[in-house]
Chains A and B, each alone.
Chain A
Amino acid sequence: MSTLRALAKAQAVAAGVAQPVATVRHLHLAERPLVLVPLALAGEANAPLAALVGTAPDAARLLIVPQPRNRDQRFRFAAELAAVVLPYLAEFHVATEAVPVDRGRDVRHRYVEAPQLLVPNPAGVTFLRLLGRSTRFRRPDGDHPVHPDVPLLGRWLTFFAERAEHPGSSALVAMTDALTLHWATGQSPVEDQHLPALLGWIDPPAGMTGPQAAARAEEPGRCPPAGPATDPDFDNQVLAPAIAAYARTEDDPAARATAYAELERVLRGQLAPTWELMWRGVGLLRALPPGARVAGRWDGDKDAFTSHTEHLDGGGGPQPRRDGAVAAAVRLHRLERALTSYAVQRAYDDPLVMAEHRLTGEAFVGEVTLADPKRVDDSGRRPVLRPRVQVVTTEPVLVPVGTTLFSPARPAQKAKVVFLTPTAEGKTEVVLELSGGMGRGLTAPPGTVPEVGERLCLTTLSDGFLPAGAFPAPEETPWTHGGPPTSTAERATDGDAAEDWS
């Protein structure tokens, strides 16, 4: 945790309400996100119990599993969920846009919009990942057939769960993560994972302080947990009798309908408060202006959505249980690059995030006191434009002479530190030589060189292009990494379908 964020937490304790740690929104919010609040049965390996799902606050669809240990009912739930999710995804399979590639020599097409899934917390993301894992290898034929939509849903859920690991992606977002990215509460990060308490701190009801609202949110009787785990007391006193009552009515359709309605009622009671909180969270995030680079990252989500659609349309198989050596290395490399660029982009977009870097000496802000925009360096084979500016800052400058710095105001320009002079008043004079971002001529177009009096932020963080690493083809996997994969290694097995259930 950065000191700046920790200080915001201390301020939140003193103020009794959460404090902002961002001035802009760092994630994309779709116009019609699909909100999904899942519940799972305790003790089982990802047994869905119920879910509220929908794209508007007044359009919640309740799905329940009356006997969550029953495997057929579990896949029926998956089919019902698919009947909501797949049509939602299909809404985006309409218009495409052309994107120039290969320096404008070619174009490719991608969908103009992409779907977005919102769940309450990281455990909700894990739930979807496991639901994807348990359904994507199922088959509509064979011994234990499932509805044809089930494996397709599994592949899409796996796609979303993988995107959720991608730093800066907004395809599948946990609400607690999204909120803590923008607000610091006066409670610990462990407690921030509880959506009702977190929102209590950020947006306490009238007449209550943040800690009062959070304390109230911790009483499971008053405020059910945001799932997927249920409250043990609820399981004991309400759910277990309701499931047992349903199980007893096997031969009596009328009693069965009543028991089913009762299960629906109690499960809706557990889900509805979280559903309300999800949309309140959406409202709070929507009120923040989006950061300048959010749209660019969302384009990445659109690309991923398009390419997974093409993979499925081309008859591609389900994602493997485990990545092969090459695929794993490529994926890790991609995630690392995304993580670096996400951190830089947030700092560039948001002065409050940049302040964290200023505190650690990775950035400083100063005023331009001298500028020589016409300076030409003719010591080389041909003369080049190399303007110099002097910046005076009161902040400590920890970078050595020769370092290349960047400025969020002109991301394409490099600024090399030429001289560093501490002044008598404790300030530092920094002389910078600029290159790039000024056209090809020997005179800089207006605005491309900082002028005297301009407040300038300079940082070691670069939002420049990060070249992708080179990896061998899977069939050329070196022996140190297990050698080329055998064709059976990644075959989707149907093993657990034949298993007895509970």
Chain B
Amino acid sequence: MTSTAQRLAVIRGPVPPKRHNARTIAALTGNPGCTRRAVLDSAGVDKPKLAERIGYPARFGQSPFAITRGNAFEAQVKADGGTELLRLVAQRLGVPVPQRADWTDLGGADDLPDRQERSRRALTATGPDAALFDHPLLGLDIAGQRVHLEPDLVAARLGGRFHVVEIKSFPVIDGQADPAKVAAAAIQSAVYVLALRELLAAEGHDPELVSHDVVLVCPRDFANRPVASLLDVRKQLLVLRRQLDRMARLDVLLAAVPADFTADPDADPAALTAALRTVEARYAPECLAACELAYFCRAEARGHTAALGRPVREALGGVEEVSEVLALATGERAAPPERAEAATLLRAAARLRADALAGNPA
């Protein structure tokens, strides 16, 4: 065990690390500048439990209706041995629809190592031209930890390349879907593309055999009929790689973390809160939708302009604390040289605001 791994084990406490999945890996790219998050996620800390212990429970419930609908749609799309799905994917990729295709289900209740081996063999073997692989098991190293991933489907050797197929149950209405949901699907698919590329590269194949165009299958309009769209995930791949590299260089981040830092959810809440405060966070309102610890960080960031959102902070000249903004605006505090420009702007803004609110006509 390396010293980094030992330190992460101390941070995590005497529990097995929480397993990542494509969604949590995708979430890592959300706020790459946050040390607190990078350290906790690398250590595999049970963040929902931690957040609850310190009195800021996360609110990431999923409705049973959404889960049912998602499962039903996936089952429907994959029915009939994937004939309809193959036609959809081939048509979207602009390749002739194959007469028949191999359908290999790599899922199942086997042991992980066995499943992984089966997936590796199936995906790297040479076979008929069109092949679909259901639930292959892929792996990716996240901060020195092997993470297992299960894409919905991989279409292989269709048009000579591998394509990740992602089945989502949000609708595409008149060719348009909820942009936030599409963005989330794109980054998750990028995780699979990355893992598949690593698998091929490890076997001596060209990683570029895996296309950066991911096929997204969604219900069309208000019915349940599937429609396929292409998503280019090149940008997401770049972002993802950068963040994973950063997490791989975790020792640099850990150097700034106090030696006795722990986030073991079983520790005393007051001690946990105090410990968390010693690791720097970079809260932004977007965290509320992506990180289980966001409510704690938000409470901590109260009184800071960052808590109001990046555009607000920028409009205030990048000044960090609300109290400083107001002191500069009223002229109570003399501006340090690096804040001179911001102070001039804030003073002018305060004067104009007071003028207009006093009822002076423009």
Contact = CB atoms under 8 A, between A and B. Distances in A.
Interface string B295-325: 0000000110101110111111100001101
B64 A235 contact: yes
B356 to A, nearest CB: 4
Contact of A3 (B65, B219, B303, B316): B316
B68 A355 contact: no
A13 B174 CA distance: 43
Interface in B37-92: 59, 61-70, 72
A6 B356 contact: no
A359 B308 CA distance: 21
B174 A4 contact: no
Interface string B323-360: 10110010000000000000001101110110111011
B291 to A, nearest CB: 14
Contact of B353 (A352, A455, A502): A352
* Contact residues of B: prevailing secondary structure: helix
Contacts of B317: 3
Nearest to A394: B351
B253 to A, nearest CB: 26
A232 B63 contact: yes
Given A9-B312, A10-B325, A190-B309, A233 B288 contact: no
Nearest to A230: B63
A62 interface: no
Contacts of B169: 43
Contacts of B175: 322
Q: A interface, how many residues as a size bin?
A: 35 or more
Interface stretch (B101-109, B151-159, B222-230): B222-230
A351 B360 contact: yes
A11 B63 contact: no
B268 interface: no
Contact of A10 (B311, B326, B362): B326
A1 B314 CA distance: 9
B353 A8 contact: yes
Contacts of A9: 308, 312
Contact of B357 (A3, A23, A365): A23
A321 interface: yes
A7 B65 contact: no
Nearest to B59: A220
B221 interface: yes
B285 interface: yes
A44 B360 contact: no
A499 B62 contact: no
Nearest to A396: B348
A455 B355 CA distance: 13
B198 to A, nearest CB: 33
A42 B360 contact: no
B315 A6 contact: yes
Choose among A9, A188, A191 the residue with the greatest number of B CB atoms under 10 Å from its CB: A188
A499 B326 contact: no
B356 A130 contact: no
A236 interface: yes
B289 to A, nearest CB: 8
A204 interface: no
Interface string B153-183: 0000000000000000111011100000000
B223 A496 contact: yes
Contact of B362 (A11, A211, A457): A457
Interface of B: 59, 61-70, 72, 169-171, 173-175, 219-225, 285-286, 288-289, 302-303, 305, 307-309, 311-317, 322-323, 325-326, 329, 345-346, 348-350, 352-353, 355-357, 359-362
Given A13-B302, A186-B308, 16 more contacts: A3-B315, A7-B353, A9-B312, A10-B308, A42-B65, A45-B170, A46-B222, A130-B173, A236-B63, A351-B361, A355-B352, A358-B362, A359-B348, A359-B349, A409-B361, A499-B224
